[in-house]
């Protein structure tokens, strides 16, 4: 196959490209320049798309003996990922920019451009597994968790959808540990073998998310109130807070019980941040929209509620609401209007509108959707089957 390997300048993508070469594919490397104002160097493990990263990607391509190009996708990145990040926070929601980047950049802009240029697939250094199952109607591609659960990225990849799974390669899906990847990179003579992993929000290189939001959205002073409506503090912009946040609340009045308080809600219309005790963050019902369905789950979760007023059947599953959070036992069904209703066994804490929820059957991804609201269920849900 003709394969376009996305080279970020890090060790994972370099080893993934090397494995694609070993597999006999005709590989071309490409580095995506996503920042409009790229720094010369990275700030340790923060940031991405520096000129240093592009240079590391080029050197990796040279070692592998493959052609290399730099594609400027900064305008697309700004207009989709960064714009979504700002609009979601301004609306009082909590976005995941990695999910949006995978959706709009890596498996939309990059893959679509690769296919238009005659490539058969895109190869990345993501930690996830693809499993192809033979059926009477032809092969079915499934997205599964990585063998390295500590690095698993199926949560942020689920948004790509089933249709694109046949056009991607994840050569690191069966790798047991990151140490194994670094050792392989060193043995191959790849200079990025000891390069630190990047983390946090790539386009907020200094890690100051609140400062980034204030710079882009402007200061909007307002009140921090408790659940009775009493003003207990002030803020410079409700958009800078997220459900479950404890630090940086600038609360001037201690709680009556002396316990710490957390952000319960962000109300953008009134520019108010509502705080309360931690137990008020516990929820067991999640309603989500914009569902992306995989395989057999589409027949269950895609029926019963999209056009009618009757909910669909319950589907037993596992639900995960954070990239590195635990998956918990749950049930999901479609409701009127095409929403997903998810009930969890026990409680989840601090689930915010805007977060991604991914449903699993063991290691297999069943569905992904965006949280719109949460609540507490008064009684247990009866699940058929």
Active site residue 49: no
100-103 contacts at long range (C-beta below 8 A, 24 or more positions apart): 100/159, 101/77, 101/202, 102/156, 102/157, 102/159, 102/160, 103/159, 103/160
Active site residue 48: no
With beta carbons less than 8 A apart as the criterion, state whether 242 and 235 touch.
Answer: no
Which residues touch 332 (CB under 8 Å, ≥6 apart)?
301, 314, 315, 317, 319, 340, 341, 342, 343, 359, 367
Q: Which of 49, 98, 123, 202 is catalytic?
A: 202
Q: Which pair of tokens denotes residue 63? A: 């070692």
Torsion of CA 185, 186, 190, 196, to 10 degrees: 80
How distant, in Å, are the alpha carbons of 13, 35, 73, 91, 160 from that of 109? 18, 15, 8, 26, 12
Beta bridge partners of 25: none
Q: Which of 98, 101, 123, 317 is catalytic?
A: 101
With beta carbons less than 8 A apart as the criterion, state whether 228 and 333 touch.
Answer: no
Q: Which pair of tokens denotes residue 129? A: 């597994």
Nearest to 102 by CA among 72, 119, 139, 77: 77
Do β-strands 364-375 and 282-293 pair in parallel, antiparallel, or remain unpaired? antiparallel
Catalytic residue positions, numbered: 101, 202
């Amino acid at each position: 196959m003709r394969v376009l390997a996305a080279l970020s300048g890090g060790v994972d993508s370099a080893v993934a490209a090397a494995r694609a070469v070993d597999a006999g594919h005709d590989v071309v490397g490409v580095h995506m320049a996503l920042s409009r104002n790229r720094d010369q160097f990275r700030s340790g493990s923060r940031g991405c798309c520096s000129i240093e990263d592009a240079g590391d990607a080029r050197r990796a391509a040279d070692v592998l003996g493959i052609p290399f190009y730099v594609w400027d996708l900064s305008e697309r990145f700004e207009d989709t990922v960064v714009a979504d990040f700002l609009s979601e926070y301004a609306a009082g929601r909590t976005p995941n920019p990695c999910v949006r980047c995978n959706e709009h950049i890596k498996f939309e802009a990059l893959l679509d451009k690769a296919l238009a240029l005659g490539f058969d697939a895109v190869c990345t250094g993501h930690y996830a597994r693809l499993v192809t199952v033979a059926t009477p109607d032809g092969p079915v591609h499934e997205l599964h968790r990585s063998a390295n659960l500590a690095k698993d990225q199926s949560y942020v990849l689920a948004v790509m959808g089933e249709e694109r799974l046949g056009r991607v390669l994840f050569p690191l899906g069966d790798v047991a540990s990151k140490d194994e990847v670094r050792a392989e990179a060193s043995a191959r003579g790849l200079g990025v073998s000891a390069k630190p992993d990047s983390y946090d929000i790539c386009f907020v290189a200094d890690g100051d998310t609140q400062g980034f939001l204030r710079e882009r959205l402007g200061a909007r002073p307002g009140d921090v109130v408790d659940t009775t409506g009493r003003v207990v503090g002030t803020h410079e912009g409700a958009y800078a807070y997220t459900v479950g946040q404890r630090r940086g609340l600038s609360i001037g009045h201690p709680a009556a019980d002396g316990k710490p308080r957390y952000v319960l809600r962000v109300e953008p219309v009134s520019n108010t941040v509502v705080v309360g005790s931690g137990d008020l963050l516990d929820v067991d019902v999640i309603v989500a929209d914009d569902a992306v369905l995989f395989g057999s789950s589409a027949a269950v979760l895609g029926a019963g509620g999209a056009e009618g007023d009757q909910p669909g059947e319950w589907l037993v599953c596992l639900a995960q609401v954070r990239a590195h959070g635990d998956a918990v036992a749950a049930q999901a069904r479609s409701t009127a209007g095409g929403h997903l209703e998810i009930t969890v066994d026990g409680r989840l804490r601090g689930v915010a509108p805007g977060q991604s929820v991914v449903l699993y059957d063991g290691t297999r991804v069943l569905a992904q959707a965006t949280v719109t609201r949460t609540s507490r269920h008064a009684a247990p849900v009866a699940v058929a089957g």
